[in-house]
């Protein structure tokens, strides 16, 4: 398969500042806003998600909230005001809001002569749920109002035993979400960006054949024995049982990987979240019970994981420099096929169509 797709330089890059071109964003889904452990009762924390300024916090009963960081009265950020564990009070005229639903509870300036019902006024509040240590926020289509209908399930890393360890990593990427995502699913960069003694070397490049199948709004690299030239996978062999790996990509931005070896397992979710239309952030959350009793395993895993993510991050910082001049780009051969599928899935979603770029199982071949 030698088809070549030229990605035209995206429009709208002018004025994007130091970052590269912008990307269309997928609204109407869950995104991780930040790590939930920074949200403490009585405190408000600001976040930027899909270009929307938000303020997040934790109520006395532990529930999280996410509001648009704008008072509906005169637009001052709500984060400039106060939060007492129950109510957000605007700094300017003291309007009080229940932060999970956004309902106004009190307008201090009203007198008994006023007929205005404060509780008919709402600040914008988003569904916000804690999973795997993240505050996940549902970001509706603009203009949806408070009737969001039935929400999709909140993403969560599958765990296959009661006892497990976990770790998370984060890196800001100075490129739009599309570049972040196709970088994530790109199999050909491994031997170059991630060469090191403990992962793999350039000399270890060999031809690979992987099987893919369509899944709703995404695709799956079908269960397979993992790449034999990766040291961490070799280590897993110590358990002496067959190792089975599945890697899924699902819109809007999720790559999940599951490795199972008898009763031992490793599971991860990587998301690339638009912070603005021209910048994004990669979050990796992993849980596992392999090497459960090895001391320091979490810090060792985090150390190597952080090195790995930092290599991707550094590469994308360099790429962003080139993307600022808005070049036309290429998607070639089988190694770039998953990126093409991503763009096709995204277009179908944005246009509200049910099309899928895969009509059945597909085998891709590349060297990496």
Find the binder of ligand FES among 40, 43, 93, 206 (CB under 6 A): 93
Q: Which one of 16-24, 86-94, 276-284, 359-367 is the stretch in contact with ligand FES (CB under 6 A)? A: 86-94
Residue 125: strand, helix, or coil: strand
Choose the binding region for ligand FES from 52-60, 89-97, 231-239, 259-267 (rule: CB under 6 A).
Answer: 89-97
Q: Binding marks (x or -) toward ligand FES, 243..282, rule CB under 6 A?
A: ----------------------------------------
- How many residues bind ligand FES, per CB under 6 A? 8
- Residue 193, CB-side half-sphere exposure with 13 Å CA sphere: 20
Tell me how many helices (H) and strands (E) the chain has. 5, 21
Nearer to ligand FES, 51 or 94 (CB): 94
Q: What span, in angstroms and rounded, lies between the C-alpha atoms of 9 and 11?
A: 6
- In residues, how long is the chain? 368
Q: Per rule CB under 6 A, is residue 95 in the interface with ligand FES?
A: yes
Please give the Cα distance from 308 to 310 (Å, whole number): 5
Residue 38 φ/ψ region, left for φ over 0, alpha for ψ in the -120 to 50 degree band, beta for the rest? alpha
CB closer to ligand FES, 90 vs 309: 90
**Angstrom distances, CA of residue 116 to CA of 78, 88, 95, 157:** 22, 20, 13, 47
Q: How far is the CB of 193 from Fe ion (least distance, A)?
A: 5
Site map (CB under 6 A) of ligand FES, residues 40-79, x = contact? -------------------------------x-xx-x---
Q: 11-33 in b/e burial notation, b at 16+ Cβ within 10 A?
A: eebeebeebbbbbbbbbbbbbbb
- Which listed range, 49-57, 72-80, 243-251, 304-312, lies at the site for Fe ion (CB under 5 A)? 304-312
Residues that bind ligand FES (CB under 6 A): 71, 73-74, 76, 90, 92-93, 95
């Amino acid at each position: 398969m030698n088809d070549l797709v030229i990605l035209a330089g995206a429009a709208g890059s002018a004025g994007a500042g130091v970052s590269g071109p912008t990307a269309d964003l997928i609204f109407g889904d869950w995104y991780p806003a930040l790590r939930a452990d920074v949200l403490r009762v009585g405190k408000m924390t600001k976040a930027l998600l899909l270009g929307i300024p938000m303020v997040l916090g934790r109520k006395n009963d532990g529930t999280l909230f996410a509001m648009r960081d704008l008072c509906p009265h005169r637009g001052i950020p709500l984060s400039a005001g106060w939060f007492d564990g129950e109510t957000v009070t605007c700094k300017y005229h003291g309007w009080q809001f229940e932060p999970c639903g956004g309902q106004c509870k009190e307008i201090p300036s009203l007198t008994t002569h006023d007929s205005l019902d404060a509780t008919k006024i709402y600040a914008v509040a988003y569904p916000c749920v804690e999973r795997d240590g993240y505050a996940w926020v549902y970001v509706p289509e603009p203009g949806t109002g408070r009737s969001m209908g039935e929400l999709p399930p909140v993403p969560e890393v599958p765990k296959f035993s009661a006892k497990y360890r976990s770790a998370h990593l984060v890196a800001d990427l100075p490129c739009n979400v599309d570049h972040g995502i196709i970088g994530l699913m790109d199999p050909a960069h491994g031997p170059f960006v991630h060469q090191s003694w403990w992962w793999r070397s350039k000399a270890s490049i060999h031809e690979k054949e992987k099987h893919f199948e369509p899944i709703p709004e995404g695709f799956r690299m079908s269960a397979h024995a993992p790449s034999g030239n990766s040291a961490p996978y070799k280590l897993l062999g110590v358990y002496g049982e067959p190792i089975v790996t599945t890697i899924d990509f699902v819109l809007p931005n999720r790559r999940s990987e599951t490795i199972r070896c008898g009763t031992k397992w490793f599971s991860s979710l990587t998301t690339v979240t638009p912070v603005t239309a021209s910048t994004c952030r990669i979050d990796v959350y992993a849980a596992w019970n392999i090497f459960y009793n090895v001391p320091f395993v979490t810090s060792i895993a985090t150390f190597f994981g952080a090195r790995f993510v930092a290599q991707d991050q550094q590469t994308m910082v360099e790429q962003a420099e080139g993307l600022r001049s808005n070049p036309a780009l290429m998607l070639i051969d089988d190694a770039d096929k998953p990126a093409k599928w991503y763009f096709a899935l995204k277009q179908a979603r944005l246009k509200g169509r049910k099309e899928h770029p895969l009509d059945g199982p597909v085998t891709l071949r590349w060297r990496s």
